[in-house]
């Protein structure tokens, strides 16, 4: 009915315009019919294309992989290099590769790694491994990989001072060193990129590669993107541990696990065989850092007295959990327009909570403005350190608030955010990514915490572009300097806008993974005018920040990556072109290794 109404209205408009310019009645009817038929045809084409776009992309990928299989089956007298011949440089090796394992066996996984190293464009590449293989197998192996300088040690070579990885690292000769698991495949551009940057990277500097995990069918399943840079307090939070190179140079005491700095070698990747690849034992999660004990803090809670499924007010549950926090002394400011606040909040001053102050605010009507509500609560704060909390939160540790405050001891830090999980245990927030031609988004939003890799990433302490206002700690002096939340953003983007203004004033935004909360997203928000408001605020945010995020180096997002694209909201996968190139290359390496394995076993 609605579509017919729109059709009749548009027809009347066209008829009126045609009658003005002197068209006859029949001509007008035919023109109107043509316009509508053309519109229906275009809508049908658009519908078919949108429905078939993903199957078409999968078909093209499989077609390219099939072509690659045919190419790989061509006979070869010796291992050839793809996509171009190897260029050798004089002097010591540019790259040394330490293969992980105390007794590496001669198998397909080993050959796959060696084939990918033989495909490097600049050599020679040095390979070190510990193995008890037979001399016959080793001779065959070294004869086929003449472009690689393979050095094999056995258990008798080990000394009491070194374990396997440290022993191999001490015997490397290359400018750069990487420790790789057996079966991993590296990008063919690795040595070419290292050759370009060899004179600009200091000794004992780690470079991170992007980590690729493939599905059994050869398509990309997951990606861990390297960051542009890491701050000095973030060094142990680096997650791309399998893809970490070290600029060793002439430094004999260089270590994979204690570099002076970490830089991302973005766009250069390593493909791993298992998403649950074990993290190195030397890399541990950061300990929970706590500043001064019994810190004075004001916790501001805007609320509309939303209830859970059992009818219990969420804000009361939050206050009871705040009373259990340790190492902090909390003054609570509740921004609430509900009736009888003295009765509603009675008997809640206990434990860590020393006082509760209720700030009346206008009832949530058609002009609901969350930013104005927050600003009113912050104005009533009595301490220098302030924590902003939604009322639909549940601290999952008795030290969640204390952990949130610890980074504020650094005067450069402006805002600190926390790790937020949905009630089902999936991820809601671990920082915000900005800088794309789209609104900011939460990386890995909604993923399940099924493996150690993502848990390690979540527990870290790192600089981000922005954090959510659901949990946000800051100093009241910096809040006053930035003039609080911009009330033009009544519902959305007020927190991101505040963080970007803080970064524009050279303040750091820190994500603290040790501060952990469960969050019922949007339960504390009035829904009056929500859809219209978010549309207007998205437009305002992009008008204010899009060009500046692209051009201003102060606002450069440390998590921005060349592979990120506007259609990928949360998964952080490469675009279709890069994905196809990686999948085809890994498939070719696997097929070459399989064929070589069969030949060497004859």
Q: How confident is the model over 554-587, as pLDDT tens digits? A: 888 888 888 877 665 566 777 777 888 888 888 8
**Tell me, what's the pLDDT at 12?**
44
Domain interval for residue 210: 87-272
Confidence of residue 281 (pLDDT cuts 50, 70, 90): very low
Q: How far apart are CA 403 and CA 416, in angstroms?
A: 10
pLDDT at 274 over 80: no
Instruction: Give the end of a domain, one of 272, 305, 320.
Output: 272
Q: Are 534 and 405 in the same domain?
A: yes
- Domain end: 516, 533, 555, which one? 555
Cβ(401)–Cβ(388) under 8 Å? Answer: no
Is 289 within the bounds of a domain? Answer: no
* Residue 1 confidence (pLDDT): 40
Could you tell me if 515 and 401 are in contact, meaning their C-beta atoms sit under 8 angstroms apart?
Answer: yes
Q: Does residue 575 fall inside a structural domain?
A: no
Q: Are residues 358 and 399 in the same domain?
A: yes
Query: Where a domain ends, among 24, 46, 71?
Result: 71
Look at residue 588 and tell me if it is in a domain: no
Asked if residue 172 is part of any domain, the answer here is yes
Please check whether residue 586 lies inside any domain of the structure. Answer: no
Which of 137 and 347 is assigned the larger pLDDT? 347
Q: Please check whether residues 191 and 320 belong to one and the same domain.
A: no
- Average pLDDT rounded to a whole number, residues 474-502: 93
Whether 29 and 116 map to the same domain: the answer is: no
Q: What's the average model confidence in pLDDT over 9-27?
A: 44
Residues 6+ apart with CB under 8 A from 14: 28, 31, 32, 35
Q: Give a yes or no: residue 79 inside a domain.
A: no
- The most confident of the ranges 175-179, 278-282, 415-419, 576-580 is 415-419
- 360 and 419 inside one domain: yes
Label residue 275 by pLDDT band (50, 70, 90): low
Q: What is the pLDDT of residue 256?
A: 63
> Does the residue 141 lie in any domain?
yes
Band of pLDDT at residue 283, cut at 50, 70 and 90: very low
Two structure tokens written together for 395: 């601290």
Distance in angstroms (rounded) separating the CA atoms of residues 449 and 431 = 16
Q: Please, which residues have CB within 8 angstroms of residue 89's CB and are 6 or more apart in sequence?
A: 122, 123, 195
Buried b (16+ CB within 10 A) or exposed e, 522-547: eebbbeeeeeebbeebeebbeebbbe
pLDDT mean over 435-445: 82
Q: Give the residue ranges of DSSP H helices in 90-248.
A: 108-118, 135-144, 164-170, 190-197
Mean pLDDT across the chain: 77
Average pLDDT over residues 54-72: 58
With 50 as the cut, is the pLDDT of residue 312 above it?
yes
Query: 108 and 65 share a domain?
Result: no
Q: Are residues 325 and 445 in the same domain?
A: yes
Give the containing element (helix H, strand E) for 122.
Answer: strand 122-123
Q: Are residue 305 and residue 197 in the same domain, yes or no?
A: no
**pLDDT (average), residues 18-24:** 42
Contact indicator for 317, 519 with CB cutoff of 8 Å: no
Residue 366 has which token pair? 């058609």
Residue 213 and residue 315 in one domain? no
pLDDT mean over 445-450: 84
Strand partners, 246: 177, 206
Q: Is residue 443 assigned to a domain? A: yes
Residue 441 predicted with pLDDT over 80:
yes
520 and 402 in a single domain? The answer is yes
If one counts the domains in the chain, the total is 3
The residues near 469 (Cβ < 8 Å, ≥ 6 apart) are: 374, 388, 390, 485, 494, 495, 498
Q: What is the pLDDT of residue 10?
A: 45
145 and 212 in a common domain: yes
CA–CA distance from 578 to each of 115, 220, 268, 322, 563 (Å)? 21, 10, 11, 47, 8
């Amino acid at each position: 009915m609605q579509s017919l109404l729109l059709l009749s209205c548009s027809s009347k408009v066209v008829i009126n315009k045609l009658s003005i310019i002197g068209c006859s009645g029949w001509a007008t009817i035919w023109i109107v019919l043509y316009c509508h038929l053309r519109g229906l045809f275009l809508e049908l084409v658009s519908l078919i294309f949108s429905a078939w776009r993903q199957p078409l992309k999968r078909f093209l990928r499989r077609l390219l992989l099939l072509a690659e299989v045919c190419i790989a089956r061509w006979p070869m007298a010796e291992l050839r290099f793809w996509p171009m011949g190897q260029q050798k440089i004089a002097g010591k090796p540019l790259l040394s590769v330490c293969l992980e394992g105390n007794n590496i066996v001669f198998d397909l996984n080993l050959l796959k790694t060696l084939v990918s190293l033989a495909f490097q464009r600049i050599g020679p590449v040095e390979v070190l491994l510990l193995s008890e293989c037979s001399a016959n197998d080793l001779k065959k192996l070294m004869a086929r990989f003449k472009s690689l300088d393979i050095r094999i040690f056995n258990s008798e070579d080990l000394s009491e001072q070194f374990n396997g990885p440290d022993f191999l690292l001490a015997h490397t000769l290359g400018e750069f060193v990487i420790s790789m698991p057996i079966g991993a495949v590296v990008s063919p551009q690795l040595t070419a990129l290292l050759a370009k940057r060899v004179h600009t990277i200091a000794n004992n500097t780690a470079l991170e590669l992007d980590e690729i995990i493939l599905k059994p069918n050869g398509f990309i399943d997951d990606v861990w993107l390297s960051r542009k840079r890491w701050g000095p307090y973030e060094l142990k939070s680096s997650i791309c541990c399998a893809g970490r190179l070290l600029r060793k140079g002439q430094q004999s005491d260089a270590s994979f696990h204690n570099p002076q700095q970490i830089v991302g070698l973005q766009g250069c990747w390593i493909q791993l065989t298992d998403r649950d690849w074990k993290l190195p034992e030397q890399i541990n999660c950061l300990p929970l850092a706590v500043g001064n004990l019994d810190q004075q803090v004001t916790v501001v809670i805007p609320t509309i007295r939303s209830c859970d499924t059992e009818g219990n007010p969420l804000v009361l549950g939050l206050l009871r959990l705040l009373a259990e926090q340790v190492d902090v002394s909390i003054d609570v400011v509740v921004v609430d327009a509900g009736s009888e606040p003295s009765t509603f909040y009675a008997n809640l001053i206990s434990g860590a909570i020393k006082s509760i102050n209720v700030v009346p605010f206008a009832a949530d009507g058609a002009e609901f403005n969350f930013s104005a509500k927050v600003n009113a609560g912050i104005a009533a704060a009595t301490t220098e350190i302030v924590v902003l909390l939604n009322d639909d939160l549940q601290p999952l540790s008795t030290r969640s608030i204390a952990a949130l405050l610890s980074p504020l001891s650094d005067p450069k830090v402006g805002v600190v955010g926390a790790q937020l999980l949905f009630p089902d245990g999936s991820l809601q927030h671990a920082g915000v990514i900005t800088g794309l031609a789209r609104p900011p988004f939460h990386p890995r939003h909604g993923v399940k915490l099924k493996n150690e890799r993502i848990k390690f990433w979540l527990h870290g302490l790192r600089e981000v572009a922005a954090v959510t206002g659901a949990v946000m700690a800051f100093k009241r002096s910096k809040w006053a300097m930035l003039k609080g939340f911009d009330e033009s953003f009544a519902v959305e983007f007020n927190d991101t806008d505040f963080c970007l203004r803080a970064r524009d004033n050279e303040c750091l935004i820190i994500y603290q993974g040790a501060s952990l909360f469960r969050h019922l997203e949007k339960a504390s928000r009035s829904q009056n005018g929500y859809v219209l408001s978010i549309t207007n605020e998205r437009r305002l945010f992009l008008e204010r920040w899009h060009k500046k995020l692209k051009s201003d180096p102060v606002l450069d997002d440390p998590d921005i990556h060349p592979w990120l694209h506007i259609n990928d909201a949360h998964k952080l996968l490469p675009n279709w072109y890069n994905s196809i190139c990686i999948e085809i290359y890994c498939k070719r390496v696997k097929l070459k290794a399989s064929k070589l394995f069969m030949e060497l076993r004859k």
